[in-house]
Amino acid sequence: MLRAGIVGLPNVGKSTLFNALVANAKAEAANFPFCTIEPNVGVVSVPDERLNVLADISTSKQVVPARVEFVDIAGLVKGASQGEGLGNQFLSNIREVDAIVHVVRCFENDDIIHVAGSVDPARDIETINLELVLADLGQVEKRIERTRKQARANKEAQAELAILQKLAAALNEGKSVRQIDLTEEEFEVIKHLGMLTAKPIIYAANVSEDDLATGNEFVEKVRGVAAKENAQVVVISAQVEAELIELPEADRADFLESLGVEEGGLKSLIRATYTLLGLRTYFTSGEKETRAWTIKAGMSAPQAAGVIHTDFERGFIRAETVGYDDLVNSGSLGSAKEKGLVRSEGKEYIVKEGDVMLFRFNV
């Protein structure tokens, strides 16, 4: 299961958001820096209305959604790359996740202290991004020293050294690795370094209840920063999400409607994180269950089968496949077959988003 790390300055709403994400998680949320020391981990279901539609068609007894793991990481402060606060621990925790959800405070509240004394999303984002850049730069510089010695007699080391020097130049300018124009081959060479600023990022603009529907000037500042990185911004209210999980399911829609929104930002954040990680969904559906399976974009049919069980990949024969829309429009699998919409796909088939699949394999 792929992991997304929730990061941000202290007191921006990370743990409150995490609690809402995992609903029954018990991450401590309190009004002092470094409230979260050890990272909290929770598994979150990915909202997908297609599951219930397929379950109705197959009269399934249960529905099993796709899942993403979220990690609530300790708040970072200026100087973290030099070990300030919980810097070293914070950075090592980020290194272990696949993507970053950067929570940015976009609300005023005199009762909740800000480590810098005022709310300024652009400054706060720069603080964290700079620490991540400095951490990466330190790592690259150490690698350059080791590689330079090897490069005297090794062509592979020479190639790596050229890439490392390219990284160092950009990082010294304050750029993140994801902003550097690297070829796939170049990225593969430095992939083992686990660069922090190479990880894909979503900015979660945390607003007050009153600004959830419309946003505010702080949110626009976040969007301005994100646009330079081609990053996505999701407007959320950790306060609203915390209130929602305390309400009965039947009352949640009315509460959101009273705020002028159809759904909280939480579902959008989960979906956006799932997409950011380069994930795709295919389905299996029958009387026993309808289940969403998570794969990486570009996976072949045997690889997708292997997500269910390694035996499925080893003994793969073919995949009986129908697109989600084709199945729903047909009303049943039998009808889809009559219309010639169910295909027999072999080992070279690349699974598409929303495919409904039945695998044939040798044991």
How far apart are the C-alpha atoms of 90 and 14, rounded to whole Å? Answer: 14
Contact assessment for residue 177 and residue 198, using Cβ atoms and an 8 Å cutoff: yes
pLDDT for res 31? 37
Sheet holding 40-45, edge to edge: 40-45, 67-72, 3-7, 99-105, 201-206, 232-236
pLDDT score, position 27: 37
Distance CA 211, CA 260 (A): 10
CA-based diameter of the chain, in Å?
70
For residue 286, give both structure tokens.
Answer: 């029958």
CATH topology of domain 3-276: Rossmann fold (3.40.50)
User: Can you give the pLDDT of all 363 residues of the chain as single tens digits?
Assistant: 678 888 888 888 888 888 887 764 343 333 333 333 455 778 888 888 999 999 999 999 999 998 888 888 765 555 544 554 444 556 777 888 888 999 999 998 877 767 667 889 999 999 888 888 988 998 899 999 988 888 877 888 888 899 999 999 999 998 899 888 888 888 888 888 888 899 999 999 999 989 988 989 999 999 999 998 889 999 999 888 888 888 887 888 888 888 888 877 878 888 888 888 888 999 999 999 999 999 998 999 999 999 999 999 999 999 999 999 999 999 999 999 999 999 999 999 999 999 999 999 987
* Phi–psi pair at 77, nearest 5 degrees: -125, 165
Q: Look at residue 39 in the predicted model and tell me its pLDDT.
A: 58
| Tokens coding 179 | 């902003």
Question: Which amino acid appears at position 41 of this protein?
Answer: V
Residues 1 and 71 sit within 8 Å (Cβ to Cβ): no
**Which amino acid belongs to residue 122?**
A
- Are 322 and 349 within 8 A, CB to CB? no
Q: Can you give the pLDDT at residue 230?
A: 86
Q: Kindly write down the DSSP assignment for every residue of 225-267, as one continuous string.
A: HHHHHT-EEEEE-HHHHHHHTTS-HHHHHHHHHHTT-SS-HHH
**CA pair distance 109, 167, nearest whole angstrom:** 40
- Give the type of residue at 47: P
**What's residue 58's pLDDT?**
95
Torsion 200-202-203-204 (CA) sign: negative
Do residues 164 and 140 make contact, with C-beta atoms less than 8 angstroms apart? yes
User: Is the torsion defined by CA of 257, 69, 18, 118 positive or negative?
Assistant: negative
E strands in the chain: 3-7, 40-45, 62-64, 67-72, 99-105, 201-206, 232-236, 279-285, 289-296, 316-323, 343-345, 355-361
Please list the residue range(s) of the chain that carry CATH number 3.40.50.300.
Answer: 3-276
Residue span(s) of the chain under CATH 3.10.20.30 come to 298-361
User: C-alpha distances in angstroms, 150 versus 188, 194, 356?
Assistant: 19, 21, 51
3-state helix, strand, coil in the chain (%, to 5): 45, 20, 35
Q: According to CATH, what is the number of the domain 298-361? A: 3.10.20.30
Q: In what order do the strands lie in the sheet with 316-323?
A: 62-64, 289-296, 279-285, 355-361, 316-323, 343-345
The 8-class DSSP code of residue 348 comes to T
User: According to the model, what pLDDT value does residue 28 have?
Assistant: 37
